[in-house]
Amino acid sequence: MSLPSHQARPGLVRSGSRSTERRAAPAGAGAGVPCRRDRAAHPRQPPGRPGRGGTGNGGCRGRGDRRAFSRRRRISSRPRSQRADPGDALREELAREQRVEAVLDAVGSRVPAVSARDVEIFYLLHRERFQSPELRTLRHILITINEDLSSNTREAAFRRITQIHALLQRHPERFAEQALQHSECPTSMQGGLLGQLPAGKLFPSLDVVAATLRSGELSGPVESPMGFHLLRCENRRPASMLPLASVRTRIAEQILAVRSENARRRWIRSLLAQ
């Protein structure tokens, strides 16, 4: 029994007295191609130009798909060196630098050996480099100035350092004892010992006084930004030239390093000149 026209099966389209049956396209097969009843909403496109949802001439592959496919083909066709992992590039660069360093080391190692005569000539031509400055072995006692403490106001600090000085003038051998008992410097635990010092290592006011002290001599009170000091010079070692035997190895190493560096620079310049 035939169905009423308004209940016709999907895909059946009547044209006049004849009816033609068009099979429904599989789901997704016509994606992007408007059906007959939708064409009013989608104007007809010129041949070869894509519509809103698909490609021209009824093609099913979108333009974005074609571009992605083309991009994958271009990447896969590149040489391996162009597609290398960043880690591979870093390793190659490090290996290249190591090869360059190895070549430079080889060039630098071909310089003449340093002879004893070379060392002696260098020592005599650069005597100022091997001067040992005068060294003074010093001790000190410090009383700091702190106006917030009644025992360390400027007047109180000066009175205390003067009393200690008067005692040490009578008993200079008790300097370490007095430093341990009264000094407000961490060196008090070592009897106020500052160690062997060249000129210029102390506050200027202290350095000037230390330069005038003879071995075993005690200074009067000296003021610095820290407070009031008493200095005692234990001994003085005069300036002298270091013996050649003590610096021979250091001189030979320095000469060899300079020769190697000069050889590497000459080799690089020769490459650049080619």
Q: What is the mean pLDDT of each run of 10 residues along the chain (274 residues)?
A: 43 42 44 45 49 46 55 56 68 83 84 93 94 95 96 97 98 97 97 96 96 96 97 95 94 93 88 85
Cβ neighbours for 237, distance < 8 A, ≥ 6 positions apart: 134, 135, 136, 196
Tokens of 196: 């062997």
In a domain? residue 81 = no
Q: What is the pLDDT of residue 194?
A: 97
CATH code, domain carrying 221: 3.10.50.40
The answer to whether residue 140 sits within a structural domain is yes
258 and 234 within one domain = no
The answer on 140 and 214 residing in a single domain is yes
Q: Are residues 146 and 201 in the same domain?
A: yes
**Domain residue limits at 164:** 134-238
Q: Evaluate whether residue 226 is within a structural domain.
A: yes
Asked whether the CA dihedral 248, 254, 257, 263 is positive or negative, the reply is negative
Strand, helix or coil at 137? strand
pLDDT of residue 38: 47
In a shared domain, residues 267 and 226: no
pLDDT at residue number 202: 96
User: Quick one: 198 and 248 in the same domain?
Assistant: no
pLDDT for 100:
80
**Predicted pLDDT of residue 241:** 92
Q: Does residue 3 lie within any of the structural domains?
A: no
Give pLDDT, residue 37.
47
What is the token pair recorded at 80?
Answer: 């391996």
Residues 219, 248 within the same domain = no
Q: Classify residue 218: in a domain, yes or no.
A: yes
**Residue 171 domain flag:** yes
Q: How many domains does the chain have?
A: 2
Residues 266 and 141 in one domain: no
Structure tokens at 132: 């040992």
Do 186 and 221 share a domain, yes or no? Answer: yes
Sign of torsion over alpha carbons 201, 207, 212, 215: negative
Q: Please check whether residue 28 lies inside any domain of the structure.
A: no
Q: Are residues 175 and 267 in the same domain?
A: no
Task: Classify residue 83: in a domain, yes or no.
Answer: no
Which positions ≥6 away from 216 have C-beta within 8 Å? Answer: 172, 232, 233, 234, 235
Shared domain for 165 and 143, answered yes or no, is yes
**pLDDT at position 142:** 98
Tell me: do 159 and 230 sit in the same domain: yes
Write down the pTM of the prediction: 0.52
What pLDDT shows up at residue 103?
A: 83
pLDDT of residue 236: 95
Q: Do 197 and 163 fall within a single domain?
A: yes
pLDDT of 90 reads 84
Tokens, residue 9: 């099966």
pLDDT at 120: 96
